[in-house]
Amino acid sequence: MTFLDQLRTAERQNGSLLCVGLDPEPSRFPAHLHGDASKIYDFCAAIVDATADLVMAFKPQIAYFAAHRAEAQLERLMAHMRRAAPNVPIILDAKRGDIGSTAEQYAKEAFERYGADAVTLSPFMGFDSIQPYLKYHGKGAYLLCRTSNPGGDDFQNQRLASVEGQPTLFEHIAALAQGPWNLNGQLGLVVGATYPAEIERVRALAPTVPLLIPGVGAQGGDALATVKAGWRGDAQGTTAPVSVNSSRAVLYASSGADFVQAARAEAIKTRDILQAAKV
């Protein structure tokens, strides 16, 4: 299956728009694992096992592994997710952005070393920084478009005088992802949940591409407004998948021995809110 097929299948089978982000921070682990970076795999695998039937995707953030020299644990985790949740796609949150042979190596890292189904990318350096990832048939690439951080305004909301209609930068990226850059239907867009009106604008410009929406939960994004702005579907199913990410709210729902049960309860609550918003 292509990445798009995987998303639609996971949404249908698990009745979910929820993406659980895997951002392991040992200083926030429960008492019996607290502060131990060698237990990153154990912590994340427990979260995966607790939520595998509740999610549309998993999203490991590579920096949280690399900072603790835990890349080997990430490789183990990717293999575990394949076994525990074979129908749930994995988005490697790497936000890579480079050109030429360097981009080819980053693509190899994401899709061959880690076996991700999709990866997040920065489009700032243009199409030749994206093209190496599109050579991997069926894999997905999410371009940063309108991010949830306050500093996103510094560039993303600026108007481009050189482009017809003077769109904002994020609008231009959305149009490129819907159109000339999306050679094989592999591109998606990252749009923050803290800007529902701009999610709706992105969806209008890119009606068929998948959206990855971070910012629900600890960052304060409105889950209901997010889904209503970005999800499109009907009785026959999703026309353009939306994956709404929650990381810290699920991972650290409890700091006690019940962290697995608490993570599952939080995931169920978030999934149900997101599903209700589709009506």
pLDDT at 195: 81
The predicted model gives 243-269 an average pLDDT of 95
Sheet holding 187-191, edge to edge: 57-60, 18-22, 242-246, 211-213, 187-191, 140-146, 118-121, 91-96
- Residue 233's pLDDT is 75
Q: Are 263 and 35 in contact (CB under 8 A)?
A: no
Distance CA 91, CA 61 (A): 9
Q: What is the CATH number of domain 3-277?
A: 3.20.20.70
Phi/psi of residue 93, nearest 5 degrees = -85, 95
Average confidence score pLDDT of the chain: 93
* Segments in the chain forming alpha helices (H): 3-14, 40-51, 62-66, 71-84, 100-108, 131-134, 169-178, 196-205, 223-230, 248-251, 259-277
Range 116-152 burial, b when 16+ CB lie within 10 A, else e: bbbbbbebeeeeebbbbbbebeebbbbbbbbbbeeeb
Summarize pLDDT for 138-171 with one digit per residue, the tens: 999 999 999 988 898 899 999 999 999 999 999 9
Section 258-265 average pLDDT = 98
Domain spans in the chain, listed from the N-terminal domain onward: 3-277
What the block records as the tokens of 142 is 């999410």
- The region that residue 7 occupies, defined by phi over 0 for left and psi between -120 and 50 for alpha, beta otherwise, is alpha
186 pLDDT exceeds 70? yes
Taking 90 as the threshold, does the pLDDT of residue 176 lie above it? Answer: yes
Distances (CA, A) of 153 to 87, 168, 172, 204, 260: 36, 10, 14, 20, 37
Beta strand pairing call for 237-240 and 232-234: antiparallel
Tokens of 146: 């309108």
The one catalytic residue among 39, 59, 95, 278: 95
Q: What is the pLDDT of residues 5-23, one digit of tens each?
A: 999 999 999 999 999 999 9
* pLDDT band for position 236 (cuts 50, 70, 90): low
Residues with Cβ within 8 Å of residue 119, at least 6 apart in sequence: 91, 92, 93, 94, 96, 107, 110, 111, 133, 139, 140, 141, 142
Block residue for tokens 């231009």? 172
In this prediction, residue 234 carries a pLDDT of 64
- At 220 the pLDDT is 47
* DSSP assigned state of 145: E
- Sign of the four-CA dihedral 225, 54, 217, 188: negative
Question: In angstroms, how far is CA 111 from the centroid of its own chain?
Answer: 15
Length of the chain: 279
User: Does 237 have pLDDT greater than 70?
Assistant: no
pLDDT value of residue 194: 80
- Segment 194-199 shows an average pLDDT of 87
Residue pLDDT, tens place only, 84-107:
999 999 999 999 999 999 999 999
pLDDT tier, 221 (very low <50, low <70, confident <90, very high otherwise)? low
Confidence of residue 113 (pLDDT cuts 50, 70, 90): very high
Q: pLDDT digits over 47-90, tens only?
A: 999 999 999 999 999 999 999 999 999 999 999 999 999 999 99
Single pTM value for the model: 0.95
CB 187 within 8 A of CB 141: yes
Residue 210, Cβ density class (10 Å: 0-12 exposed, 13-18 middle, ≥19 buried): buried
Model confidence at 218: pLDDT above 60 = no
pLDDT score recorded for residue 246 = 92
Q: Is residue 95 annotated as a catalytic residue, yes or no?
A: yes
Q: Which amino acid is residue 148, in one-letter code?
A: S
